[in-house]
Structure 1
Amino acid sequence: DFCYHSPSLSERELKQVSRSDPIGLIKQTQKCLLRMYPDGLRQDSSNPNPIDGWNCGIQMVALNYQNDDHMMELCYGKFIDNGGCGYILKPNYLIDIEKSKFNPFDYIKQPSILLKNINEYPQRLILTIISGQFLCRSSEKTDDIPDPYVIISTHGISCDQQIKKTKFIENNGFNPIWNETFQFDIYFPQMCLVRFDVYDYDIFSHDDQLAYFCLPMTTMQTGYRHIHLRAKNNNPTYSTLFIHVTIQNK
């Protein structure tokens, strides 16, 4: 019951507690700094999905930094906000849970209306993936010219999680042009991450990730934008995507 307590939960314990008493768990984050850590059975140093912890207000979601996987990339994207200092504010409905009665599991599907005490303004995100520039190859050892396509995904409360992708462009990593438009209805923009992944299509084996970028939806600016993509280890690259962003209130 004291603010200097910092309880730790494994990902398995978090799943159990969040399902049985999600509001009680969020209330604990008002008094304590809670930490979630990967399960000990992850001998390959893989990572759990940090979104599960963030949706319940967990302040410290520990990940295996030695593994540059998709979950680490979400973590990099989450903390781009606030100047990349490592600290960001939670939405009010995760802070004043007595008033908001926010339960992330009430929003598995897109709701027709939000509770009046939840301070969110649903938005429609319209993205046009216009073109790419200087897309890197899947490996320094290959001479294969990539057949790139883009996957756009949104991550946050369950009702906001969506995945869409472009067609692939054959043998063009220099300046592929897609000109494809996608629409996402987002009900919790303050909790939403938008992610861009560029893959190399391969008919005979698995598709290789070429580069990515992830950012909070609240940091996106409208109009024509260049996205400076990052490598799997989060290092900057020369690769970019040229897109158009429209954000409308629903």
Structure 2
Amino acid sequence: MNVRYKDNNYAKNNYTPFHSSSLAEKTFLKHAEENPLDLILQTTWRLLRVYPDGLRQDSSNLDPVISWNFGIQMAALNYQTDDDMVALCYGKFRDNGCCGYILKPDYLINAQKTKFNPWDCPSNFDEPLILKITIISGQFLPRSHAESKDIPDPYVKVSIHGLSYDQHTEKTQFIENNGFNPIWDETFEFRIRYPQMALIYFTVLDYDPMSDDDRLAYFSAPVTMIQQ
């Protein structure tokens, strides 16, 4: 049953685990900024959902990573828009056999004890990770559009999405007119304080100096799934 969102004390006295609440994007951010622990505590015993703001007339999406950082179980997206936010959602739930259910980190589950705050938290809740990624090459990259006759000028963007401390992006040089077998051979290093909360997102783009770069391919996954 869906009910109006209230503070945790009210919810504990009046709601049960069968009661869920849906928050508009701006409402969620307001509560997350004003009382983050209260919001997280509610996700330890009942379901919360965040959905895109009604002003998104273009069907753009909110960043679901922010919701997940606060333990929100359901981040609704406009799936008709195949953007980076949807790609991150695919990556988030790639773990656990893509069944749609994943376990939260202990510091989110036991928030009453840890007092975890995604905006300002110490570094001793998780085991920091130094991740080195080498982008070697690509093969048979598609053109940006089926009707396009332009040969891609591809480059790879690698980004970490998670807590604000870990957000970081690197990108290779673009290879001019080579979608067949571009070779980059570039290495990047990421220092990740909260790997259990982090996603890695690979995007192959077609460089265009005159307009937005077109996305040719992408892949996203939890950092904890990466094997050496």
Provide the TM-score with structure 2 as the length reference: 0.91
Q: Which amino acid aligns with 2:123?
A: L
Q: 1:20 aligns with which of 34, 39, 55?
A: 34
Q: Which residue number in structure 2 is paired with residue 189 of structure 1?
A: 195
Q: Which amino acid aligns with 2:62?
A: P
**What does 1:1-250 correspond to in 2, within 5 Å?**
1=12, 2-107=16-121, 114-115=123-124, 118=125, 120-222=126-228
Secondary structure at the residue paired with 2:170?
strand
Provide the TM-score with structure 1 as the length reference: 0.84
Secondary structure at the residue paired with 2:188?
strand
Q: Which amino acid aligns with 2:110?
A: D
- Residue deviations 1:197-250, cap 9 Å, x none? 11111222221111111110011111xxxxxxxxxxxxxxxxxxxxxxxxxxxx
Q: Which amino acid aligns with 1:54?
A: W
What is the CA-CA distance between 1:126 and the residue it aligns to? 0.3
- Find the aligned partners of 1:59 and 1:204 in 2 and give their Cα distance: 40
- Residue deviations 1:47-74, cap 9 Å, x none? 1000111000001111111111111111
Q: Percent identity between the aligned chains?
A: 59
Superposed CA RMSD: 1.0
What is the CA-CA distance between 1:8 and the residue it aligns to? 0.9
Secondary structure at the residue paired with 2:119?
helix
Instruction: Report the number of matched residues.
Output: 214
4+ runs deviating over 3 angstroms: none
Q: Which amino acid aligns with 1:140?
A: A
Q: Which amino acid aligns with 2:128?
A: P
Secondary structure at the residue paired with 1:76?
helix
- Find the aligned partners of 2:79 and 2:215 in 1 and give their Cα distance: 19
Instruction: Flag the structure with higher strand content.
Output: 1
- Find the aligned partners of 1:191 and 1:180 in 2 and give their Cα distance: 26
